[in-house]
Amino acid sequence: MADNDEGLPDGQANDNPDDDADELARLRAEVAELKDRLLRALAEAENTRRRAERDRLDASQYAMTRFARDMLTIADSFGRALAACPPKLLEVADPQLRAVIEGVDATERQLLSTLERYGVRPIDTSNGKFDPNLHQAIAEIAAPGKPKGTIVDVVQAGFMIGDRLLRPAMVTVARGEAAEASTD
């Protein structure tokens, strides 16, 4: 004997309405659960897609971080070489020496320009305000007329890559007038 759609032998119908209502409620609950699982799976897939896109953008923007740091040490060397030759000495220097120094200066500018094209830019310290997120204080010095914590000198330029800190600016900050008076 074959079974009908309700699992009963042919010729027998399920006349119990309570069984039908229970079966309908069970099926509705199962549909609701499956719908919830589908929505969660779709949301998870979308979150994964967004995370992968963000990771891809970060990788492309910040992949050269180590390389950029290494290039900054080269730029620092160019800067130190140029600082070792005061402008007065350059005015009276031999033409060949002047050409070498001008070449070093041009190379430094080109290197910094290239780094900037790739999102590496110097930290602006012109406002004189110390920001521990961007600056590293290496010394506190007496600076008459300057408020405590004000940047007095930039020892080494700091740089950002995109919106991240690549290297903090090494600065000296003012000790403050109150501290100066107490040491006298």
DSSP string, 125-184: -TT-B--TTTEEEEEEE--TTS-TTBEEEEEE--EEETTEEEEPEEEEEE--HHHHHHH-
Distances from the Cα of 5 to the Cαs of 16, 20, 25, 123, 145, in angstroms?
Answer: 15, 13, 18, 76, 95
pLDDT in tens, 149-165: 899 999 999 999 988 99
pLDDT average, residue stretch 102-107: 94
Parallel, antiparallel, or unpaired for β 169-174 and 151-156? antiparallel
Task: Kindly state the DSSP code that residue 86 receives in the 8-state scheme.
Answer: -
- In this prediction, residue 7 has a pLDDT band, given cuts at 50, 70 and 90, of low
Task: Kindly report the number of other CB atoms within 10 A of residue 16's CB atom.
Answer: 9
- When comparing pLDDT for 90 and 104, which is higher? 104
**Contact in structure between 110 and 147 (CB atoms under 8 Å):** no
Q: Is the pLDDT of residue 144 over 70?
A: yes
Q: What is the residue extent of each domain of the chain?
A: 17-61, 64-118, 121-184
Please give the model's pTM, rounded to 2 decimal places. Answer: 0.64
CA distance 152 to 53: 42
pLDDT average, residue stretch 106-134: 92
Q: Is the pLDDT of residue 39 over 90?
A: yes
Beta bridge partners of 121: 160
Polymer length in residues for the chain: 184
pLDDT in tens, 42-82: 999 999 999 999 888 878 777 888 899 999 999 999 999 99
Q: Is the pLDDT of residue 102 over 50?
A: yes
Q: Is the pLDDT of residue 184 over 80?
A: no
Please give the CATH topology (third level) of the domain spanning 121-184: Nucleotide Exchange Factor Grpe; Chain A, domain 2 (2.30.22)
- In this prediction, residue 3 has a pLDDT band, given cuts at 50, 70 and 90, of low
Q: Is the pLDDT of residue 180 over 60?
A: no
CA distance 133 to 118: 22
pLDDT of residue 93: 86
